[in-house]
Chain A
Amino acid sequence: MSNTANVSILTDLPSGKEFRQAKLSNGLQVVAEVDPRSYSMSLGYFVRAGARNERDPQSGLSHFLEHMMFKGTARRSAADVNRELDELGGNSNAYTSEEQTVYYATVLPKFQDRIVDLLSDMLSPTLDAQEFETERQVILEEIAKYEDQPPFGGFERAFEIHFGPRGLGRRVLGTNESIKAMTAQQMRDYFYQRYRGENIVVAASGNVDFDGLVAQVESMTAHWADRPQPTALPEDDPNTLPDGVELTPTVDSPDANQTYWIGIGDGPSAADPDRHAARMLGSILGDEGSSRLFWELIDTGRAEVATCWPQEFSDQGAWFTYLICDPQNLASNLQSIRTLSDQLVQAAPNEKELQQAINKNTASYIMHSERPGNRLFGLGSRYLMHGEYLDLDQTISGMRGVTTDAIARVAKKYLAATPSAVQAGN
Chain B
Amino acid sequence: MLLLAAPPVLILFLLRQFRLLRLGKTTHMTTPLASSDIQSEIVLHRMSNGMTVIVQPMPWLRSAAFTLSFPAGICQESADRAGIASMTCEMVQRGAGSYSSRDLVAAQDNLGLDRNSGVLTNVVSYGAAMPAESFDQALGVYADILRRPHLPADQLDDARMMMMQELRAIEDEPSHRVMRRIRQMRYGDRLGRGPQGTMESLQTISQDDVREFFQTYYQANGAVLTVAGNVQPKQIIATAEAEFGDWKSGDKAVQYEAESCPGYDSIEMETSQTHIAFGFPCIPYGHERYFKMRAGIGILSDGMSSRLFDRVREQRGLCYTVSASCHSLPNAATVFGYAGTTPERAQETLDVTLHEVKHLVDDLQQSELDRWKVRIESALVMEQESSASRASSLASDFFQLGRPLETKALSELIEAITLKDVQEYWTENPPQDFHVVTLGPQPLTVNL
Contact = CB atoms under 8 A, between A and B. Distances in A.
A372 B110 CA distance: 25
B31 A38 contact: yes
B109 A359 contact: yes
A360 interface: yes
Interface string B295-309: 000000001111001
Interface in B81-120: 101-103, 105-115
- Residue of B131, B315, B381 with most partner-chain A CB within 10 A: B131
A209 B159 CA distance: 53
B442 interface: no
Nearest to A134: B317
Contacts of A93: 2-4
Contacts of A13: 62
A360 B129 CA distance: 12
Nearest to B382: A40
Contact of B28 (A36, A40, A108, A357): A108
Contact of B33 (A37, A96, A142): A37
A370 B386 contact: yes
Interface stretch (A81-89, A190-198, A378-386): A81-89
A147 interface: yes
Interface in B337-384: 340-342, 367, 370-371, 374-379, 381-382, 384
A37 B60 contact: yes
B342 A301 contact: no
Contacts, number: 254
A67 B169 contact: no
A290 B105 contact: yes
A70 B34 CA distance: 37
Contact of A425 (B2, B105, B172): B172
B134 interface: yes
Interface stretch (B13-21, B45-53, B160-168, B324-332): B160-168
Interface string B277-290: 00000000000000
A187 interface: no
Contacts of B4: 93-94
B204 interface: no
Contacts of A2: 107, 110-111, 134, 137
Interface string A257-274: 110000000000000000
B317 A299 contact: no
B171 interface: yes
Given A37-B31, A67-B3, A89 B375 contact: yes
B115 A289 contact: yes
Nearest to A147: B272
Contacts of A120: none
A372 B374 CA distance: 20
B446 interface: no
B56 interface: no
Contact of B112 (A7, A109, A133): A7
A39 B101 CA distance: 40
Interface stretch (A231-239, A241-249, A361-369, A400-408): A361-369
Contact of A359 (B60, B62, B112, B379): B112
A173 B2 CA distance: 11
A106 interface: yes
A86 B165 CA distance: 40
A135 B313 CA distance: 9
B269 A1 contact: no
A137 B110 contact: no
Interface in B146-171: 157-166, 168-169, 171
B40 interface: no
A94 B2 contact: yes
Nearest to A4: B110
Interface string A1-30: 111101101100100000000000000000
A133 B3 CA distance: 16
Contact of A96 (B1, B62, B115, B269): B1
Contact of A363 (B29, B38, B130): B130
A138 B31 contact: no
A140 B175 CA distance: 17
| Size bin of chain B's contact surface | 35 or more
B3 A301 contact: no
A359 B110 contact: yes
Contact of A370 (B3, B62, B103): B62
Contact of B107 (A1, A86, A108): A1
B418 interface: no
A149 B165 contact: no
Contacts of A295: 102
A303 B165 contact: yes
Nearest to B99: A1
Interface string A60-71: 000100110010
B341 A36 contact: no
A302 B382 contact: no
Contacts of A89: 374-379
Interface string B20-34: 000000001111110
B320 interface: yes
Contacts of B417: none
A201 B350 CA distance: 41
Contacts of A90: 375, 378, 382
Nearest to B372: A86
A407 B39 CA distance: 46
Contacts of B63: 366-367, 370
A324 B381 CA distance: 39
Given A141-B342, A356-B109, A363-B130, A256 B385 contact: no
B158 A301 contact: yes
A2 B140 CA distance: 11
A396 B183 CA distance: 44
A128 B178 CA distance: 36
A150 B175 CA distance: 11
Interface in B46-75: 60-63
Interface in A333-389: 355-357, 359-360, 362-364, 366-367, 370-373
Contacts of B272: 144-145, 147-148
A226 interface: no
Interface of A: 1-4, 6-7, 9-10, 13, 36-40, 63, 66-67, 70, 78-79, 82-83, 85-90, 92-97, 106-110, 133-138, 140-142, 144-145, 147-150, 172-173, 207, 255-258, 289-290, 295, 298-304, 324-326, 355-357, 359-360, 362-364, 366-367, 370-373, 425
10 contacts: A6-B133, A38-B385, A108-B381, A144-B273, A149-B175, A255-B270, A256-B172, A299-B101, A363-B111, A363-B114
Given A66-B1, A70-B3, A301-B157, 7 more contacts: A10-B133, A37-B60, A38-B31, A67-B3, A256-B172, A301-B164, A355-B110
Q: Which 4 A-B pairs have the closest CB atoms?
A: A301-B161, A363-B112, A89-B378, A137-B317
